[in-house]
Amino acid sequence: MKNILTGITPSGTPHIGNYIGAIKPAIEKSKSNSQDNYFYFLSDYHALVKCQDARLVEKYSLEIAATWLALGLDTSKAFFYRQSRIEETTQLSWILTCLAPKGLLNRAHAYKALVDENIQANKDKDKNISMGLFSYPILMAADILLFDTNLVPVGKDQIQHVEIARDLANYFNKTYEDILVLPEVDLACDDVLSGLDGRKMSKSYQNTIELFASEKELRKKIMKIATNSLAPGKAKDYNTCTLFKIYKEFATSGEIEEIKKAYEDGIAWGEMKNILFEKINKTLSGAREKYKYFIENKHEVENILEAGEEKTRKLAKEKLDTIKYALGLRSFC
């Protein structure tokens, strides 16, 4: 029996990259008949690092929760909750902060990239970098370690964070007692999904296709995906094509083979864009309706989350009590 855990940060409207890289594989796993435990949550404290607009944090939180539900997460089986409602997480985060070597966090990609940018621009190296951003991996380690997580299904960009969680668990086990489980990454897709401009699809690059965009918006976005200028009839390379990379995440293996052949035969970009639109639209139209329902009935979403949080808090409290005892934070009697 394994504990499998992943979080999505409500700092933007969910996009197809989030779906393929994190949500779809997570839901598929939770539907299997295994004895594993699934923990799926909204990392709303992490959102504060990127988004300081209260209305947006609320909006994105509802959207992400509605997304999980619309796509069929079985909440009677999975632990489904908001990070900010499990207070033990921030307590464990402080405990890990006291153990974490600063040098380890200096090397975290997100922090390092911003420092490098500042240096390049001849600015103070820590300009516009909050302690929240710096400590981001520690809070993520707390999310993971609090629930004895074995596997963390995430996209490639999150591997380093899971490694940091593993390192911190190791430090803890060596310093105190061997009570934290060392997590491993479960890489959802080998590569990150590309966005409209060919870079990684990401909220930060504003190149996303929203998962539940209306039909009209979906078509518009797909038509905007950058391609080369090869004319119809000219053979095309599917390996480097964003349209193909997205298509293959939605298609069956037979359909993928057919499209590969069409590329070799010189399919026109307009035609390929139509095929991609039809495929995504068909796959997601049912869930889109459910998504709309949950957005309009947010009290239902609230009730589902509150029930999940009650269930989750029990486990969190038990683990934190064990950890605090190991640290010497104990009753005198």
- Report, in Å, the least distance between residue 11 CB and ligand TRP: 8
Question: Looking at this protein, which amino acid is placed at residue 86?
Answer: I
Two tokens at 293?
């329902």
Q: Which does 73 bind (CB under 5 to 8 A by kind): ligand TRP, ligand ADP, none?
A: none
Q: Which of residues 110-169 bind ligand ADP (CB under 6 A)?
A: 154-155, 157-158
- Report, in Å, the least distance between residue 152 CB and ligand TRP: 5
CB-based contact 273:256 (threshold 8 Å): no
Site string for ligand ADP, 178-217 (x = CB under 6 A): -----------x--xx------xxxxx-------------
> In terms of CB distance, is 56 or 262 closer to ligand TRP?
56
Binding site for ligand TRP (CB under 6 A): 5-7, 9, 43, 46, 140, 143-144, 152, 154, 158, 161
> In terms of CB distance, is 99 or 276 closer to ligand ADP?
276
Q: Which of residues 13-52 bind ligand ADP (CB under 6 A)?
A: 17-18, 20-22
> In terms of CB distance, is 3 or 158 closer to ligand ADP?
158
Q: Which ranges of the chain does DSSP label H, i.e. alpha helix?
A: 16-18, 24-31, 44-50, 54-70, 87-99, 102-106, 109-120, 131-145, 159-175, 215-223, 242-250, 253-264, 269-296, 298-327
Question: Residue 217: CB partners within 8 Å, gap ≥ 6?
Answer: 210
Q: Which of residues 67-106 bind ligand ADP (CB under 6 A)?
A: none
Return the bridge partners of 82, or none. 42
CB-based contact 38:74 (threshold 8 Å): no
Q: Quick one: which of 175, 8, 32 has its CA closest to 96? A: 175
> In terms of CB distance, is 156 or 292 closer to ligand TRP?
156
CA distances from 257 to 130, 139, 264, 270, 329 (A): 48, 43, 11, 19, 60
> In terms of CB distance, is 141 or 218 closer to ligand TRP?
141
Interacting residues with ligand ADP (CB under 6 A): 8-9, 12, 17-18, 20-22, 154-155, 157-158, 189, 192-193, 200-204
